[in-house]
Structure 1
Amino acid sequence: MRFRMSSSIEVAPGADDRLFVMFHGYGNDEREMIRVIDAIYAGTGSLPSYLSLRGTYDRAFMGGAYWYPDGCGVEERRRECSAVGDAVVSLLDSPMYASRRRILIGFSQGGYLSYRMAVEHPETFDAAILMSPSFKGEKTTDLSAFDSPTRFLLLYGSDDRTIPAADQDTARHVLAASGRAEYREYAGMAHSINDQEINDIRMFLGLENNTTHPGQAPLV
């Protein structure tokens, strides 16, 4: 599998040791997640290292790309995510990334892909930030015995109608069973990203000395 991506690897002494592995949503491209990570690090005095990957399928006529066909079944979705995940983990098996904390971050389709990669490669990632992930078909997944260091941050808008409410509930319950998940919900936000969400991601990452979480809600 060949990837199209944009990357930035900071190697200066004292540089942040995180490596963000980033996946955009349906119909967008790798620039979407670069804008997100730039917002997260704005004003911190640090520069992030990242690999921002472009979807494996180009969208005809309208531009952008996607990771799996819109409306495809659960098994096809999982196969597509597994293929990408296996290839990315192989890419990360390099001395260049050996000392890095690896953090998945994705929006919508990219959020679901990040979740599947964390589950299928439990020893690879330190954290997975799932922004409004699609979650159809995961209702029977049981993470109660999930033996992994991966921490999850799950984020949804209260007015998100793109991801059905039942699928959002499934995401909360599946990830709660891992015992390593936090959840935030944003009043009035649709299938989008807002300033408070960016702020909460900063705090999850320890980029701000702030212990309050205005958007925090119980996972279940």
Structure 2
Amino acid sequence: MRLQMVSDFDTGGKGPLFLMFHGYGNDESEMVRIIDAVYVGTGEAPDYLSFRGTYARPYMGGAYWYPDGCGVDERQRKCAAVGEAVASLLDSAAFTNRKKVLVGFSQGGYLSYRLVKAYPNLFDAAILLSPSFKGEEGARLDSSARLFLAYGSSDRTIPLPDQHNARLVLEDTGHLTYREYPGMGHAICDAEIIDLHDFVNQL
């Protein structure tokens, strides 16, 4: 698998390296806009690799990581294939001493969770924004990565049982920061950007 991405990072940099995965029907620029917003006013430029979904969406544009409505087994297989490619990419001296932070929205949030699960010692943190979580009932995550999980109170794209299960699974790690934003749907809001800024500053 060959991942498509946009990047902006200094190989000699000291700050965290963000590895970012967009939601269904979008592209790599979605996550760049989010991380740029987190850093507005800081005078710093974030170092990132932002990836495009491995499947192009027909007719309407954008991309996705796994087919909408596919079964749990297929979803996990697609995530595993991306994980192998990402882990191979990071097996380079350029990334050895960098903190590595996953950032994903919706499908990309679920993918980020699966990467932490598959490579529990590779990533220092994972920011999971409105992730899908179907099929993870009773799952266990054994990783020391710091986790940020967020949903909007009006998000009906991700079923409420899946949202609750995501929180239960991640809280069991002992290092989860959870936020719920009143009135927000399946989206990102200004208050969330502020909370992400605070979370990133503590890494």
TM-score w.r.t. the length of structure 1 is 0.90
Residue matched to 1:9: 9
Shift of 1:16: 4.3
Identity %: 59
Alpha-carbon distance in 2 for matches of 1:165, 1:3: 32
**Residue type at the aligned position of 2:163:** Q
Number of equivalences: 203
Residue matched to 1:157: 152
Shift of 1:142: 2.2
Alpha-carbon distance in 2 for matches of 1:86, 1:122: 13
1:205 matched to 2:203? The reply is: no
1:37 is aligned, of 24, 35, 38, to 35
**Residue type at the aligned position of 1:119:** K
Shift of 1:135: 0.4
Residue matched to 1:140: 138
Any gaps of 5 or more consecutive residues in structure 1?
208-220
CA contact (8 A) 1:23 1:110 kept: yes
| Superposition RMSD in Å | 1.3
Matches within 5 A, 1:48-127: 48-127=46-125
Partner deviation per Cα, 1:107-126 (whole Å, 9 max, x = no partner): 00000000000111001000
Partner deviation per Cα, 1:18-71 (whole Å, 9 max, x = no partner): 100000000000000000011011111111110000000000010000000000
Moved over 2 A (4+): none
Alpha-carbon distance in 2 for matches of 1:32, 1:142: 29
Partner deviation per Cα, 1:163-192 (whole Å, 9 max, x = no partner): 000100000001011111110000000000
Alpha-carbon distance in 2 for matches of 1:10, 1:94: 14
Alpha-carbon distance in 1 for matches of 2:11, 2:42: 17
CA contact (8 A) 2:57 2:63 kept: yes
1:128 matched to 2:123? The reply is: no
CA contact (8 A) 2:102 2:125 kept: yes
Alpha-carbon distance in 1 for matches of 2:82, 2:155: 27
Any gaps of 5 or more consecutive residues in structure 2?
none
Structure 1 counterpart SS, 2:128: strand
2:161 is aligned, of 158, 166, 169, to 166
1:19 is aligned, of 9, 12, 17, to 17
**Residue type at the aligned position of 1:3:** L
CA contact (8 A) 1:10 1:47 kept: no
CA contact (8 A) 1:17 1:99 kept: no
